[in-house]
Amino acid sequence: MERPPGRRRLNAPLPGRRERKKLAARAAILDASTRLFAGKGFEQTRIEAIARDADVGIGTVYNHFATKADILAAILSVDIGEVVGGTRTIVERGGPDAAEMVSSAVRVLLDVMERRSRTLWRDLIGHALLDGGNLGDAYRRAETVLLGVVRAGIERLHANGCIAARFHSDEGTQIAFALAKNGIYRYVFNDDVAPDDVVTDLRAQLRVTAPPPKPARSVR
């Protein structure tokens, strides 16, 4: 019998006092970093300021994160974990067509992104594209995971006959992902673009590029 999600096994040991303190310190560092990166910008935020805002020692910050970029990577990982859970639910539920499914998945992503400032996302994306360390790796993993979610959705729609046969799975995945990514970048780098704008435009684009199959003509 499977254990319900989120339930701890009865015989699983609770974290000790030291482990709880470490987890609390890590959470405080991430919260402080998120606030400071959003308010001051990534480059202008010093580790000393993060430690002061989190009410921990500088050494404690370095015990958890070797660099500021590693902190950004951790912030990204937390958000991506939530996004993947939400988008997989959408894929498993299915949808009438690619436009509805992909735009709904992007809406989940944007809802998570809205909790943080666009300044933070700009810094995160900009540094991730140039970073060869943990942040760059985390960003590339996030893209790979999200691409996989889109691919699974497109394949499901193909299997159910909800996409025109000419729109092959591989081609459809790449086109849908590219359009979704472009919409997300518009949101991040343009303060005048709202999440609803991105979702509406994406849905319209996908209805043209990934149309549902035409109904068969009746023979008279």
CATH classification at residue 22:
1.10.10.60
Secondary structure E strands in 144-213: none
Q: Is 2 part of any domain?
A: no
Q: What is the pLDDT of residue 7?
A: 46
Domain for residue 102, yes or no?
yes
pLDDT profile of the chain (220 residues), mean per 10: 45 73 93 90 92 96 93 86 80 75 89 88 86 83 83 80 72 87 94 95 86 55
pTM here is 0.76
Judgement on whether residues 60 and 89 belong to the same structural domain of the protein? no
Residue 72 resides in a domain: yes
219 in a structural domain:
no
Query: What sign does the dihedral 89-92-95-98 (CA atoms) show?
Result: positive
Residue 161 belongs to domain with CATH number? 1.10.357
Count of domains for the chain? 2
Identify whether residues 96 and 204 lie together within a single domain.
Answer: yes
Distance CA(188)–CA(200), nearest Å, equals 16
Q: At what angle do helices 118-130 and 68-93 cross, to 10 degrees?
A: 100
For 82-125, the pLDDT digits (tens) are 887 888 788 777 667 778 888 888 999 899 889 888 988 888 88
Write out the residue range of the structural domain in which residue 200 sits. Answer: 68-209
- Residue 8 within any structural domain of the chain: no
d(CA 71, CA 82): 17
83 and 96 in a single domain? The answer is yes
CB atoms within 10 A of CB 182: 13
